[in-house]
């Protein structure tokens, strides 16, 4: 479980990377140690040779051997004044395996040579050439056994390795504790806050309060706080809508009974001898029937969802003409509104007549009320024609008016319930319901334009088979 945590994985990554860095440091370090070792041998050999030269050759025998033993070499060759001279010498136990010239050595050649030295299992006899110190000649050359050099190289390498392990362990531990304090702990606090909020998302006191001083984590906390705040508001709105749905269901129950009585009285109005009453009575009966059906649908569902449409082959022109007749009857006295139509008589759609009537009524009623509010003459234009949407054949109905246009707030949340009505006193339900009804048909309701010259909506419905 620990290996799956972020901090544990970070700990292992730190250890691996520190060790990798130490490996990259290890080879140059041991190569520099070998170079210093050989330079020290050259310096000791030079001192021994200078001691012999200072004595005019009086040092010999056991004393010369002691000088070579202290220098750690078998012989010393010194070139002075272009003359190569063997200063000190002793028997070499084996042949010379390799020669190294430190005068022209590079870091790469030094690293290559030390890797060879550390991988050879047995000691070797090597020749080393270098520059004498204090310019005491042109060059100095020594021969030595690498046994002691290999021993000291491995001891030095072990010390470097142990030091690397110690440094990587301390570094990893410090970084682990830092990650725990500055990253993991704030993340756990956010996780606890999310779990606490999930238990009661409608409680505003459980919304996360950003506290992190790390910029990225604070941005994440602020984004989470914004999301929680918005979600809490949506949940409260949903609760209010649910309560409203219950209230509407109860109101619809009583309203249905009232409308049923009114429908019976409207049927009797058809027996009147007044021609105007006879003309208006069928429209009144139709409107009451639709209102009763709406109440029954609301009661059947008990919530604010619309029933699925009863799709069939529907001729659109009679429905549009019926909507226009109803709106003409509803005109305010003195209003001068002209209704213009351009309808294809044989245009059919696959739709529910009652629901499409409600959509058209809503749009035309909004247009009529917008023009009436200006107290100026206006025009409402309705046209229908075949149209394709995403390659699918269908029917387009355009409803335009010469009203003042929609306010900015209404355009921002046009098809969202209770987000601002399109007219003064509206609650923002009409267009939301209309859009839902059209989507239920597989169609689309969209705003084409809305400015000071008027507003235009477009309804697209799939064509009848």
Residue 201 DSSP SS3: coil
Strand partners, 449: 456
Name residue, tokens 């007219």: 423
Long-range contacts of residues 190-197, Cβ cutoff 8 Å, at least 24 apart? 190/217, 190/220, 190/221, 190/224, 193/224, 194/224, 197/228
In angstroms, the Cα distances linking 20 to 24, 25, 321, 459 are: 6, 9, 83, 67
DSSP state of 127: E
Q: Give φ, ψ of 59 to 5 degrees.
A: -85, 125
pLDDT given for residue 200 in this prediction:
78
Q: By the 8 A CB rule, do 89 and 75 touch?
A: yes
Greater model confidence, 214 or 429: 214
Q: What is the predicted pLDDT for the residue at 422?
A: 55
Domains of the chain: 2-171 (no CATH), 309-462 (3.30.565.10)
3-state secondary structure of 80: strand
Residues facing 98 on adjacent strands: 126
Give the pLDDT of residue 341: 92
* Spacing of C-alpha 41 from chain mean position: 64
**Cα torsion for 411, 413, 418, 424, to the nearest 10°?**
-10
pLDDT band at 456 (very low <50, low <70, confident <90, very high): very high
Lowest model confidence (mean pLDDT) among 84-93, 133-142, 300-309: 300-309
Cβ(360)–Cβ(399) below 8 Å: yes
For residue 454, pLDDT over 70 is answered with yes
Is the pLDDT at 130 greater than 80, yes or no?
Answer: yes
Pairing label, strands 125-130, 98-101: parallel
Nearest alpha carbon to residue 442 among 462, 457, 459, 458: 462
What per-residue confidence (pLDDT) applies to 303? 47
Q: How far is Cα 136 from Cα 432, in angstroms, rounded to an integer?
A: 102
Cα distance between residue 447 and residue 411, in whole Å: 9
What are the pLDDT digits (tens) for 360-390? 998 999 899 889 888 899 999 999 999 988 8
CB 253 within 8 A of CB 298: no
* pLDDT, average across residues 190-213: 80
Say what the pLDDT of residue 4 is: 64
Q: Is 80 exceeded by the pLDDT of residue 30?
A: yes
Contact call for residues 23 and 15 (beta carbons, < 8 A):
no
Q: Report the distance separating Cα 319 and Cα 429, nearest Å.
A: 22
Q: Residue 230: its pLDDT value, please?
A: 85
What's residue 252's pLDDT? Answer: 62
Find the Cα–Cα–Cα–Cα dihedral 195, 196, 198, 201, rounded to 10°. Answer: -160
DSSP string, 158-194: HHHHHHHHHHHHHHHHHHHHHHIIIIIHHHHHHHHHH
What average pLDDT score do residues 193-200 get?
82
Average pLDDT over residues 135-163: 84
Give me the mean pLDDT over the 98-120 stretch. Answer: 86
Say how far residue 407 (Cα) sits from the centre of its chain: 35
pLDDT of residue 395: 94
What count of other Cβ atoms lies within 10 Å of the Cβ of residue 239?
Answer: 11
Give the position of tokens 């200006």.
Answer: 374
Name the pairing type of β-strands 139-145 and 454-462: unpaired
Rounded Cα gap, residues 207 and 249, in angstroms: 34
pLDDT above 90 covers what percent of the chain?
A: 17
- On the question of pLDDT at 52 being above 50, the answer is yes
207, 212, 199, 239: which is closest to 226 by C-alpha?
A: 207
Task: Give the N- to C-terminal CA distance of the chain in Å, as an integer.
Answer: 61
For residue 252 the two structure tokens come to 């619809």
Write the CA distances from 301 to 232, 250, 252, integer angstroms: 26, 12, 12
Q: Which two tokens stand for residue 192?
A: 């606890």
pLDDT of 1 strictly over 50: no
Lowest mean pLDDT among 60-69, 113-122, 227-236, 292-301: 292-301
Residues 53-91 have pLDDT tens digits of 666 655 556 677 777 778 888 888 888 776 777 777 788
- Residue scoring higher pLDDT (78 or 424): 78
Q: What pLDDT score does 57 carry?
A: 56
pTM of the model: 0.43
**In whole angstroms, what is the distance from residue 325 CA to residue 365 CA?**
12
């Amino acid at each position: 479980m620990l290996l799956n945590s972020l901090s544990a994985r970070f700990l292992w990554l730190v250890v691996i990377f520190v060790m990798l860095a130490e490996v990259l440091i290890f080879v140059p370090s041991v190569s520099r140690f070998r170079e210093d070792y050989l330079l020290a041998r050259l310096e000791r050999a030079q001192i021994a040779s200078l001691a012999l030269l200072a004595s005019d050759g009086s040092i010999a025998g056991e004393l010369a051997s002691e000088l070579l033993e202290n220098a750690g070499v078998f012989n010393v060759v010194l070139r002075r004044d272009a003359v190569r001279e063997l200063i000190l010498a002793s028997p070499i136990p084996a042949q010379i395996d390799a020669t190294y010239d430190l005068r022209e050595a590079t870091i790469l050649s030094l690293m290559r040579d030390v890797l060879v030295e550390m991988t050879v299992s047995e000691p070797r006899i090597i020749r080393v050439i270098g520059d004498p110190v204090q310019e005491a000649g042109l060059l100095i050359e020594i021969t030595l056994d690498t046994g002691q050099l290999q021993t000291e190289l491995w001891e030095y390498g072990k010390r470097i390795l142990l030091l690397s392990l110690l440094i990587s362990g301390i570094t990893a531990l410090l970084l682990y504790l830092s990650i725990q304090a500055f990253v993991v702990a704030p993340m756990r606090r956010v996780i606890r806050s999310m779990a606490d909020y999930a238990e009661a998302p409608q409680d505003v006191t459980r919304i996360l309060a950003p506290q992190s001083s790390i910029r990225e984590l604070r941005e994440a906390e602020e984004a989470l706080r914004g999301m929680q705040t918005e979600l809490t508001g949506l949940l409260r709105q949903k609760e209010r809508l649910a309560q409203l749905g219950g209230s509407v269901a109860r109101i619809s129950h009583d309203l249905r009974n009232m409308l049923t009585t009114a429908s019976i009285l409207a049927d009797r109005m058809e027996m009147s001898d007044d021609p105007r009453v006879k003309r208006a009575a069928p429209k009144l009966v139709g409107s009451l029937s639709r209102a009763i059906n709406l109440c029954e649908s609301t009661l059947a569902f008990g919530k604010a969802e619309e029933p699925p449409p009863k799709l069939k082959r529907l001729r659109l022109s009679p429905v549009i003409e019926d909507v226009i007749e109803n709106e003409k009857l509803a005109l305010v006295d003195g209003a001068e509104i002209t209704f213009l139509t351009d309808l294809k008589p044989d245009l059919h759609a696959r739709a529910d007549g009652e629901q499409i009537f409600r959509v058209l009524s809503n749009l035309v009623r909004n247009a009529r009320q917008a023009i009436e509010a200006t107290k100026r003459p206006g025009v409402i234009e309705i046209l229908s024609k075949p149209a394709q949407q995403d390659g699918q054949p269908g029917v387009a109905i355009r409803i335009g008016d010469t009203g003042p246009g929609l306010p900015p707030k209404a355009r921002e949340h046009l098809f969202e319930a209770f987000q601002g009505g399109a007219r003064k006193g509206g609650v923002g339900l009409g267009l939301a319901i209309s859009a839902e009804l059209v989507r239920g048909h597989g169609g689309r309701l969209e705003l084409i334009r809305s400015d000071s010259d008027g507003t235009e909506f477009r309804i697209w419905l799939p064509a009848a088979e």
